[in-house]
Structure 1
């Protein structure tokens, strides 16, 4: 293992730069050359490579986003695109690959690694925290804190005007952000993809928690919730209960940005070093994760396909302690 490549792919997540920094610094420490691959798998296909050294990653630990840029690649989904990417890697003399991203990134990495018997290690970088086999993914803690700060501010105006706010948060088909932010912010109701809530149940919750108190209520909605789009749910509630003062806020990409928290900086640093260690010990087609504070290696296929359960204890907690 004389030269490795590193890339970021899919949605950006705070802490990706910290992971890049750790990969580069660890490789340099081991006398391994590092090549940064720009714009994810598109960069592999286009041969968009840059040499990296310790100085290349100075000052990026605290920065959000990714200095290597990110993009989704349709061409890499094709056998021809992956063949071109492989030829570019071999021409550059790259012996192993570290990819930082989520399930889409890992899917591409696993397919590529198997097709060409190429060593690939995944680092979980996604705010959704939906990858099986790791307690935390890079960016999740920062996104949680961003959501908590935003909801706390919305609560101020909700209380001032006795309003009912529906607030949509990211997470695609996973409710980890909504659930944990709901506990942290005292949301009265949390709608999750993993727990089906009927419209009648929602109305009953609101009758108990909002209509009775006439103060304020926060309904946190994970974007993949099966009841419907947040704005449609709120509109229906408003029409059926005109006495409710209903408002909607969609936090959107606000949740992806910002300087990573200490938790994300430390996690990214640990996983970046662990990824290089994995390559040096001849591991391949695995994700490096963290479980109970210990580094683990999980097959990429398992990290992608196995469902990561939400914490049912927190669900019960919301029902008990919400207003």
Structure 2
């Protein structure tokens, strides 16, 4: 005779206990896959849908930013970048309004030195075998671990480096890779200034691309000690006016908020967003803060993906889904 027939009460107790256990555990089970507005599951490895989901998440962040401004403002003019420690003390800094809320649809890895000098890159595998891979790096400071790792992890990438304060890339670039690097002691600016009496010579990004015969840049690194505001404003505004996508796939940028107010910074940041730039990683420069005792954290690294146009990080070529896994 079966156990449940000999001990019906015991069996019923076991059954009820198990049913109750599964019921209570229900909310803690893995949630169903996220769905689109139409109720369909998001394909896990479908690039357009992953980008769409990331943008959906980012748009929620934009609404949250408005709420945070209202909470601490209530207007933009009332927000301080780094509020003083007074009573009542606002528990925020400027960086709380601009989190890196966009999800890179590829692998994210840090290239270069840990600490100052390294940068976070989205989807380096996308250019691992790309024959026309182009990298521009502004602000070398004789530290080229970032550029060296790009060379070591790709087969075809060519790197153009610019810095008027040094005479070459840093020692991290191996001599065997010298043919893939191109250095010039120029500066990046919002307008050209490279006449006979101009020292240092300054160029816009567009002018340098024309000089080099380039129509696109895959990875753009900029660390130019606060000139990023003037430079990127001059670069981006014509593209916004014409509706053209920016000519680079992603941007690694060190932001220096010196002598600015929140309203100025917000206008500049919203210009980046309007042009299709989405921050997928951020890292405050704590070394700078540590060595400036009593100073604020007004330097931060940001990495952006350009979601407009057809750059290699947001569009698959016909053979790309197989190519970058070789």
What TM-score do you get using the length of structure 2 for normalisation?
0.30
Name which one, 1 or 2, has greater alpha-carbon Rg: 2
Structure (1/2) with the larger helix percentage:
1
TM-score by structure 1 length? 0.30
